[in-house]
A and B are shown apart, each in its own frame.
Chain A
Amino acid sequence: MTTLVQTRPRLSPFTAEATFINRSFLHSVRDVEALLMAVVLPVMLMLMFTFIFGNAIDPSGGYVDYVVPGIILLCAGFGASSTAISVSRDMTTGIIDRFRTMPLRSGAVLTGHVVASLARNLFATGVVIAVALLVGFRPVASPLEWLGVFAIVGLYILAITYLFAAIGLAASTPDAASGYGFILLFLPYISSAFVPVETMPGWLQWIAENQPITPVIETIRGLLMHTPIGDSAWLAVVWCLGIIAVSVVWGAWLFRRKAGRR
């Protein structure tokens, strides 16, 4: 009788990752509301900052050139925050235990969510830039600098997505995950995204200058508009890699600890 039963074959490399990426893509495409939010909201914000606040902040009409990098990061934050909800949903339904009792690399499910988030947000970034160009955004970047912009935006998306994935693992319910994520989305406002740091009160300046968003913004702005970058570029890279490292270690620990618990 035992000859009829079979053992799971060993998977070829990256089959699991590819399967989970495909799954997360299907999730992204089918969650129409979230997809619309991820694209429409940043566009609305940009139009609001350009046409409503823009002239008050910078009467010369050049505010759109200043604000685009901030909108891009804000948009990436919104898009990535849904990763926390997806991960939390996986953890709180039984599906994660099914995956965990299969011979799969433990991070493969998360890789799926992260890659889908990266693709989703790079697409949204493209839409934001396209709309920005329509409303008068005039960047002076060379093709190589554009490449740099997408590289640093991609790195930032990865960092914040990994962080949101870890938050999704830590949260007890998808609703809680969405709540924690909200705090992170506030961070761009306390940076050089919308107004120069020098215009803030002293204590807030210190926060704004020493948080990860500011160097990322200054790097993107420097590449697009040729404003001085200084040490922002390497600070941005160090911040992003640091966030990824911490999130991956924290996430892996949570993933192990939560096995078999719901």
Chain B
Amino acid sequence: MTLAIDARGLRKRFGRTDVLAGLDLAVPAGTVFALLGPNGAGKTTTINILTTLVQADAGTAHVAGFDVAAEPEEVKRRISLTGQSAAVDEVLTGTENLVMMGRLSGLGRTEARTRAAELLERFGLTDAATRRVGTYSGGMRRRLDLALSLILALPVVFLDEPTTGLDTRSRQELWSVIRSLADAGTTVFLTTQYLEEADRLADRIAVLDNGRIAAEGTADELKARIGGDVVELRDAGGELLVELPTDGTVHGLRAAIDELDRRAASGAPGVSVTIRRPSLDDVFLAITAGGSPATPSADGLARPELIESK
């Protein structure tokens, strides 16, 4: 298995804060990898180091087989970055943006124009091709932004929160583009705050917390870490009163239901109980709220105080 990204022991300190405190990552080539974490967890810093923008204080990182610190030019020839704020030129038109980036990517004038037209078509921007990007909506900008990263089929594409601020339809369109990239052999490294995005898109997910990888695996593996199903108590209006994870055993389920009784008026009229599979949200909250995740306590409850809503 070839690794597209191989980072070991990355550390970065800004002032007195350790943004990254020994980060390890291994991303197999041709896969979609999602780095998940709350705001300020160090997601963008990780991307900045991997894309050669920032030097790590310690540790090594190889991207597409080259050391980001020792051979940044070779790394740059094999990556593209779509950052958090749309990196588009607002004064130029959609076509001009793409042609400029095509020329900077080594395409000839005609080639760059052809490629621009193809990408505009693929991202549903053909009608807006001759309009200045300043007049585009947020979703259109984001699509153009991604198109600018896809002029060449490069080995590794970095996407920093690619769908933040997009409506559901645009988001799903982007997802299908990202999937097709990976199918064509490109490794996609994306950061996101949306668990659904990671769940739907990524082959592997890493949860970043306090500058370290707190958990890593497929979505199913991560969900399995939290143990069994989640018990929910809802009032007559369907409003969530309490939710508790269980460890998947009969004993654990019974303990959870007893706990519901203690915490809320579960006998009140209209109050109902449901059992559901854990979502990635449960995993995320359990992991990023601190401590070791998914360690069921003696009474069979996996850190119920962390996952209780209301």
Contact = CB atoms under 8 A, between A and B. Distances in A.
Interface of A: 1-11, 15-16, 19, 22-23, 26-27, 30-31, 93-95, 97-104, 259-260, 262
Contacts of A7: 77-78, 154-155
B175 to A, nearest CB: 20
Contact of B106 (A15, A22, A31, A97): A15
Contact of A30 (B77, B81, B91): B91
Contact of A26 (B78, B91, B103): B91
Interface size range of chain B in the complex: 35 or more
B53 A97 contact: yes
Given A15-B103, A260-B53, A101 B184 contact: no
A97 B100 contact: no
23 contacts: A2-B2, A4-B153, A6-B154, A7-B77, A11-B104, A15-B104, A15-B106, A22-B100, A26-B91, A93-B85, A94-B85, A95-B89, A97-B51, A97-B81, A97-B83, A98-B83, A98-B87, A100-B52, A101-B80, A102-B76, A102-B80, A103-B77, A104-B104
Contacts of B158: 101
Nearest to A99: B104
A249 to B, nearest CB: 21
B53 A5 contact: no
B104 A19 contact: yes
A260 B48 contact: yes
A1 B30 contact: yes
A104 B51 CA distance: 14
B96 interface: yes
Contacts of B53: 97, 100-101, 259-260
B85 A1 contact: no
Interface of B: 2, 29-30, 48, 51-54, 73, 76-92, 96, 100, 103-106, 132, 148-149, 152-155, 158, 184-186
A260 B79 CA distance: 16
Contacts of A259: 48, 53-54
Contacts of A2: 2, 29-30, 155, 185
B87 A97 contact: yes
A100 B92 CA distance: 19
Given A3-B185, A5-B154, A6-B152, A101 B96 contact: no
A97 to B, nearest CB: 5
A177 B217 CA distance: 46
A94 B44 CA distance: 13
A23 B89 contact: yes
Nearest to B4: A2
B154 A8 contact: yes
B201 to A, nearest CB: 18
Nearest to A1: B185
Contacts of A4: 153, 184-185
Nearest to B76: A103
Nearest to A86: B91
Q: Top 10 nearest A-B pairs by Cβ distance?
A: A260-B53, A94-B87, A9-B106, A1-B185, A260-B48, A94-B83, A94-B85, A260-B54, A98-B87, A103-B76
